[in-house]
Structure formats: C-alpha cells, structure tokens
Chains A and B, each alone.
Chain A
Amino acid sequence: MATTTVTHPGTIAYQGRRSWIYEWLTTTDHKKIGKMYIFTSFLFFIAGGIMALLIRTELAFPGVQFVDAETYNQLFTIHGTTMIFLFVMPMFVGLANFIVPLQIGAADMAFPRINALSFWMIPLGGLLLYSGYAVGGAANAGWTGYAPLSAQGGAGLDLWLMALVLLGMSSVLGAINFMTTIFKMRAPGMTLLRMPLFVWNTLVTSVLLLFAVPVLTAGLMMLFIDRNYGGGFFDPALGGNPVLWQHVFWFFGHPEVYILILPAFGIVTEILPVFSRKPLFGYKAFVFATSAIGALGFSVWAHHMFTTGAVYLPFFSFFTFLISVPTGIKFFNWLATMWGGQLRFSTPLLYALGFIALFLIGGLDGAFLAVVPFDFHVQDTYWVVSHLHYVLVAGAVFGIFAGLFYWFPKMTGRMLNERLGKWQFVLLFVGTNLTFFPQHLLGLDGMIRRIVDYAPNPGWPELNLLSSIGAFVIALSILPFIWNVFITLRGPRNAPDDPWEANTLEWATTSPPPSYNFDSLPPIRSERPLFDLRHGLTPHAAAALPAGPTETHDETRADAPEGSK
C-alpha cells in the first residue's frame, strides 16, 4: 500500500495528431493553462518593470529631464495596473492552476473550459490596457483612478476601465472554479484540515476575489457611465460624490492587498517545513490566521481614506491594528517551524527566508499607518510607496520566485540551476532594499508621490539616486533568472519525482505529471501524505485515523475525472 509502481500509458496518446500550437491554443489541461498564465504574466512583469525603470530614471535627479509630466503620469498608471492585475494576480493564479489540483489529488480543475476562458481574458485585457498608447495616450489617473480626475482624460481611460472589467471577470470565474475544485474534487482522505496551506490560501484568496471584485466592477461601470453618458455618480454638480469612488475602490482595493499576498504566504508555508524537515508548527493556527486575515481584510478599506475627512477614523484604525495579530501569528509559527529543524539552503528556502525578513518591514509599516495622526503626515508620500513595495516586491515577488524555484522541477521535469538562483536572490535582496528603503526616509521628510519633479532639498537627490540605482539592481537580478530558465529548458530532464523530499501530493506523481495527473494516490492520513509514505505513519498522523466516511468523495476519484466525456 505504501509503495506504488508508476507507468504512463497515456503520455504519448496524442503525439503527432495535432500541431503543438493548436494544442496550446485549445488546451483545457490545468497544467498547460497554468504554464500559460505564468509565461504571460512574466512578460507583463518585464513590461511593468521597464516602466518602473523609466520612472526611476526620471526621478534619479531633480528636474524634468527624461520624460514629460503626461508621459510620466501614464507610466506610473500603467506600471501599477500592470504589476497588480497583469503580473502578480495572474502569476499566482497560474501557480495555483498548476499546483492546487495536484495538491488535492484531482485530475483537473472543476470547470476546465471556464479555466481556459479565464486565462485568455488576461492577454486580451492587457491588449486593451496597452492599446491606450495607440489612441492618443494610455490611462493617466493612477492605478487607483480617483474620480473626478478619472472623469477627465482621453480614450485611454475608457480602455483602462474596459480592461479592468475584463480582468475582473477573469478573476471571478477563476475564483468560482478554484472554490468548486477545492470543495468538490479532493481525493479520498483529503479532509479540509489535511489540505496543504497553499490550497488553504488559494481558497481564502478565491473567497476574497468573489466578494471584492464585483464591487470594483460596479464602480468601474459607474465611472464608465459618468465618462460617456453623463451619469454623475461621482460628480457633485450632478448630485454625485467623489468620495463614493474611494469607498467602492478600496472596498475592493484592500482585500486586493491580501489577494496579492496570501498566495505568497501559502508558498512560504509550503516551503519552510520541507526544507526544515519538520512539520508545520501550528497547522490549525495557520488556517485560522489565514481565514482571519481574509475576514478582517474587508473591515479596513477606509484606512486609505483617512485624509478625506469623510470616514469614522477610530473604527478603521482599530481593525487595521487588529489585522496585524493574525499576521504576527504567522510570523512566529514560521519561525517555530524552522526552530530545531535541519535547514537546507536551496533557492526556494532562500526566497522564503528573504520573504520573512523583508515582508516584516511592510507588515510593521501597516501598524504605523493605523496610527491615524501619523497617516495624516505620510499619506500620499513616498513612505506609502515604500510600504506598498515592501508588501508587493519583498512579499509577493519573493513569494513568486520561491514558488517558481520550488515547483519548476514539477512543471518541467528539470531543476533550475542553483548557483544562478542564488546570485539572483542576492541581487534581488540588495536591490529591493536599495530601491525602497530610502523612500521611507523621503516620505518622512515630506516628499509626495506621483510627481515628475521634486525639489533638491537636503538629502532628497541622494536618496532618490540611491533608489534609482536599486531599481536597476532589481532589473539586473531578473537577467540570471531568464538565462537560468533558458538553459534549463534546453538541458535534459533531470528532476526526480520528488527532488526536495517534500510532503504534499504533487510530488507523488511524475515530473512533469501526465495529463491525467496521477496513476495512483498514496493514502492521505495527515497533511503530509508523502512524509507518511517515506517514514511510515507518525503517531500524529496515526492519531488522525480513521478518515471518516463523510470525508471521502468517491465521485472525485482521480481515476474518474470530471469533465471527461
């Protein structure tokens, strides 16, 4: 029972029947769709990164030397929109697409065709967003698109609105797909409390998307009506209210922060036990903390609006403070997971450690921002720019690279080069701090954000130059990664099924998995079925026996995949 003999009769079934391009364009295989998500979002990461370099080049010195104000406004608008909606979100959806069905022992997503539809909306949305440059200028009102400024501006803003509606629809369809998959397609024995934490984080993220994105879509529609048909939702001259946009936007926008970071939490939580050779410390605490962060994420939106004078300050201050408690639980449980372990410093662990070390700064910043009178000072300054990049670069991007290095062998059957990976990590670690830490100091000194030019006040030119140099170091760190992927994909398949001695089901099948995922599944008696397989049942897992009959789902057996004709 504890050993399986694996053969792959199906892997060559369709070879030669279809051209590879037709195969990719029409696929509904969650693994291929996942790879397309990852590849597409990485292209957008490069595009958004180039825009960041243009921004930092302009800001390297005081004065307007390199781009004019209008170009600059379009740059930071499209940079922010790209990185959030076209890079981080689809990148995590791509990783989850590939990994979640494998981790729960399913053969595919619940709705494979809707899954393909969700993906193809991403490049289409990107095309809409960027086509603004072809019609007289892309959107220029910031990624937050505050009304009534966003009611001005040209066709680029309408395209921005349409792109976001489309990308939002993709997210909602994806969220429903993930929730259905996770609730209905788990292998026998995979109870909710034995699910890998990455699956838990994907589940909570999906719930957040399902509740938050439709609110944004409604707001986008209202703005579209305002712009094109004289709706007046946000125009006080017509009885509207500009603050309403901010409520609608941030009711989506704050949960969005957790949509962008929870999957990274999940990846780190997967990696630490594997590379420490220990179980997760406080599995249930992680489940609780993830759910609590998701729930509290809906009660803090107006902390982005303290300076509007239109919100009840203590309420949003309190919940903003409170949300740091479950986040703190995660930090201490991560440390306790590694405590007493045997750490193996492969690239995935380095990125996970870098995540903990640097995301901490972004998290502590969050507590500062709950201090309303301090927020009055730093709102809309570079302090906030620093904070959000410590969350999104040190958090999301480090999490993404941790996940890419960890799962690359499973996706491609090939191990990425460790030496290049470590060089990349060092460059990215240094570059991130060089770029974003000085911005804390600039914000405290009163330098506001979204300005093409700044005064050469004492220390400002130096810190800005430092930040710009850091941005180029970050860009440099991406080159070894691209080279690494390139040479690895040209090399032979060298990855074993389970190169990291991991715990979860995706490592129970071949690298890469066959199209139907599993020939057979090991018994699932704990949250570490592969560990149990390697070492025999631990007393902890044995105590969890037997799996209750209500916890099995025979209709979702791997050998009876839903969606097959």
Chain B
Amino acid sequence: MPLVGLRQRIASVRETRFATVAFVAVLAAISAACSGAAAGHPGYEPGYGPGGPGPGFFPLQPVSQGGTLVSNFYPFIFWIAVAVFVLVEGLLIWIVLRYRRRPTDTELPKQTHGNGVLEVIWTLIPAIIVTAMFVFTVDTLGKVETAQDPADNPQMTVDVTGFQWQWTFEYKDKGISLTGTGRDGPTMALPINEKIRIRLHATDVIHSFYVPQFLYKKDAIPGRTNEFDVIVQQVGTYAGQCAEFCGIGHADMHFTVQAMTPADFDAWVAQQQAPPPSASALPSNAPLVSVTSVGVVQGFTPKELSVAADTPWSVSLTNSDAAVPHNFSIHSANADGSDWNAPINADAGGSVTYQPPALATGEYTFFCSLHPNMTGTLHVGQ
C-alpha cells in the first residue's frame, strides 16, 4: 500500500478541516457569549489543546502505532463511501431535474420492468467492493490486534480496574497503584516506543477504556479480563474517558495518559515509589471541620458547613458507607474558578483529612466527585 501517497492525501484533507472550523465559527461567537454560565470549566482536555485542528471528516491525530494504522486505512473506506455517495446523489439530482412531469406528458413513459444485465452488474460490483473492503479490514485488524500474538511479549503491563466511577492503574511489578477521580482523573504514565499491555478489569458494571488518540477502546467487563497492547509513539498528555455508559457518574469517569521518554518514565517510577511526604505544614490552629458521609442516597452529614474566609482550613471526612468510597470536593473553589477535586478518596469505613484551598467569602457547594448527587452547602464568612 502506498502509504506515503495516502499520508499526503490525508494531509491535504486535514487542511479542509479548517473550512469546517470556519463554517462553525459564526456559532462560536454565540456559544462563547452564552457559555459564560458554564465558566469554571478547566478548558480543553489534554491532547485537544488550543490551536488543535478540531473535529473534521477524519479521525483525530493518532499517537499510537495501532491508531496510526487505523488512521492510514480510514481514507480507503472514506473515499469509497464518498464515491458511492456522489454517484447516488448525483443520479438522484439528475433524475429529479431531467424527469420532471411536464404538461405535455400525456402519454405514459416507456414501461420498463427491469433489466437483468444491469441488475446483475449492480449486484456484483458492490459485492466485489465490499469483499475487497473486508479483506483489507481483516489485514488491518490483524496488525492492530497485536495482542493476539502470545509470542510477542510486552515490555510492561498495567492493570486497569474500572469501577463506579473511577479508575485504578496498577503497575504491579513496580508496586505502584494510582486511583483518581475528576476531570483529569488518575494519570497513567507510559514510556514511548515500548509495547505496553493493558489488562482491563471491572468490579461492578461494564466500563470501557478509551483514549481517543489511540483510536482504540476496549471494554472492562466484570468477571472477565480483557487485554490489548499499545505502543505510544509521541510524547504528550492525552485525555481518556470511560466510553461504556455506567451510571450517574459516567460523564466524570476521566483519566489521563502521559507518554514520556523511557528516562523520564524511570524518574516518574522512582518518584511514585518514594515514601509520601508526611502531613504538610498546616498551622496547628487551622480550623478542622468534620463530615460523615453516610451513603450514596443519604449523602453527607451535616449538609451545611461553615468556615472562616481566607484562612487555611482542613476537613476530615469519615466514610461510614459499608462498601463505596467517597470524597469531599468543592465546586468552583480553585483560583481559576474550576472545581477543587479531592486528591484521594476515603475508602469504605475509612477517614481522610483534606486541605482545600483558603476560600473567599461566599457560598460554595461541596460534593463527592464520585457521586455528583451527594452535595452540601459550605458557608465561607468572616
């Protein structure tokens, strides 16, 4: 397959994406004016950054080996589809223009009941085309699904567990385990140009591990371990999200993949393995607020808290739920207006002390980022 030619064609088409962007630019103004209400959003997801090409007729820029294979194969299907589309719509428009009924049409048109040769032709040609598409599909599929080859061992394995509504990433041979929540979620650090095996587990319902820039997703299914291999080719930070609908917190089940050079990755591993810093220096007179979270349905107790303005403070969360982790987060508490998300969760039966930022006078809403329906009011005053 002439990959170079294909790539050039992709590049030329990518330029037409800017036309798409321009096409919606008018709406951007309206949208920008109206989305003031939505202020407080942390902005673009990692990998989508400002100045990105934006949505177009082609998948977004892949950063993995498998994604590149798919991205290179996509134009083959796309241009066949465009050709069929133009052919059929063109014929349709021609028919509509050419064969309108005219006042002079008193005689019946020629009554044609069919044409065996023509019908065989437009049965066989599509059959040949889809057979070709199938052959190339299976070829590409085999290259993408390299995990099918047991002889080709990965250099590293990450165990991913999805549960409502967060992810845990475990590097078992390195003793690293990360669990996180919120818009950025936990970060999976990966060395580039190494074959990584991702093993997918789920404990409650089905989730799906999706990194758009891998152009790949695979489901995490309770009672089953799915796995796939990925070779990331570009250093960068990429957004990931649960793609299989999994309940009330589905939209918040984000994570981040950070691809780095092998040297940087080794440094990251060493940093993760270092013992966590002891409790940070908080003034001993800092007020401590206590909250008990009772459960997903009942929510927090109490539901109203008061702290002083512009003063360092801390909050102790006791999770009295029998099975489910919770946390204490605050909407619009960061300096840039975004939500302050709890860095860790309180496991069932456990207790965690958080140190949220000092807050200006006003009313805030605190919540559990795992269960957005659990909320309470935080009064910040003098």
Contacts and interface: CB of A to CB of B under 8 A. Distances in A.
Q: Which of A69, A373, A377, A381 has the most chain B CB within a 10 Å cutoff?
A: A373
B21 A335 contact: no
A198 B242 CA distance: 43
B77 interface: yes
Contacts of A321: 130-131, 133-134, 137
B205 interface: yes
Nearest to B147: A309
A353 B126 CA distance: 22
Contact of A142 (B31, B44, B123, B245): B245
A533 interface: no
Contact of B31 (A240, A371, A462): A462
B217 A380 contact: yes
17 contacts: A146-B205, A149-B246, A281-B114, A284-B114, A308-B219, A309-B227, A317-B134, A317-B137, A317-B138, A329-B119, A329-B123, A339-B95, A342-B105, A357-B92, A371-B133, A444-B59, A458-B48
- Which of B127, B244, B246, B249 is most buried by chain A, counting CB atoms within 10 A of its CB? B244
Classify the secondary structure of B's interface with A.
Answer: mixed
A325 interface: yes
Interface string A349-365: 00001001100110010
In terms of DSSP, what is the predominant structure of the interface of chain A? helix
B337 to A, nearest CB: 12
Contacts of A338: 95, 99
B140 to A, nearest CB: 5
A310 interface: yes
A501 to B, nearest CB: 10
A488 interface: no
B81 to A, nearest CB: 5
Interface string B267-307: 00000000000000000000000000000000000000000
Contact of B35 (A63, A343, A376, A440): A63
A341 B110 CA distance: 8
A69 B73 contact: no
Interface residues of A, number: 105
Nearest to B106: A342
B372 A69 contact: yes
A80 to B, nearest CB: 11
Interface in A129-150: 140-142, 146, 148-149
Size bracket of the B interface: 35 or more
Nearest to B118: A336
Interface in B193-245: 204-206, 208, 210, 212-213, 215-219, 221-224, 226-228, 239, 241-245
B108 A277 contact: yes
B338 to A, nearest CB: 11
Contact of B111 (A279, A314, A460): A279
Contacts of A237: 223
A446 interface: yes
A23 B152 CA distance: 74
A150 B73 CA distance: 37
B54 interface: yes
Contacts of A65: 37-38
B177 interface: no
A379 B45 contact: no
Contacts of A236: 222-224
Contact of A69 (B31, B80, B119, B373): B373
Given A374-B70, A455-B41, A441 B56 contact: yes
B89 interface: yes
Given A283-B113, A285-B114, 14 more contacts: A65-B37, A69-B250, A148-B206, A276-B109, A329-B122, A343-B96, A353-B96, A367-B81, A368-B81, A370-B133, A377-B215, A380-B210, A455-B44, A456-B35
A63 to B, nearest CB: 3
Contacts of A61: 31, 34-35, 37-38
Nearest to A345: B100
Contacts of A243: 221, 224
A152 B354 CA distance: 31
B20 to A, nearest CB: 7
A335 to B, nearest CB: 5
B210 to A, nearest CB: 7
A346 B17 CA distance: 38
Contacts of B126: 324-325, 328-329
A340 interface: yes
B57 A441 contact: yes
Interface of B: 20-21, 24-25, 27-28, 30-31, 34-35, 37-38, 40-41, 43-45, 48, 50-60, 66-67, 69-70, 73-74, 77, 80-81, 84-85, 88-89, 91-92, 95-96, 99-102, 105, 108-115, 118-119, 122-123, 126-127, 130-131, 133-134, 137-138, 140-141, 144, 183, 204-206, 208, 210, 212-213, 215-219, 221-224, 226-228, 239, 241-252, 372-373
A47 to B, nearest CB: 22
Nearest to A365: B81
A308 B221 contact: yes
A4 interface: no
A241 B206 CA distance: 11
Given A307-B217, A360-B85, A459-B54, A313 B141 contact: yes
Interface string A450-466: 11111111111111011
Question: Which of B40, B245, B249 lies at the interface centre, i.e. has the most chain A CB atoms within 10 A of its CB?
Answer: B245
Contact of B91 (A284, A335, A449): A335
A68 interface: yes
Nearest to B21: A459
A376 B250 contact: no
Interface string A383-405: 00000000000000000000000
Given A279-B111, A461-B35, A307 B138 contact: no
B99 A282 contact: no
B248 A445 contact: no
A450 B100 CA distance: 44
B27 A466 contact: yes
Contacts of B219: 307-309
Contacts of A322: 127, 130
A450 B20 CA distance: 25
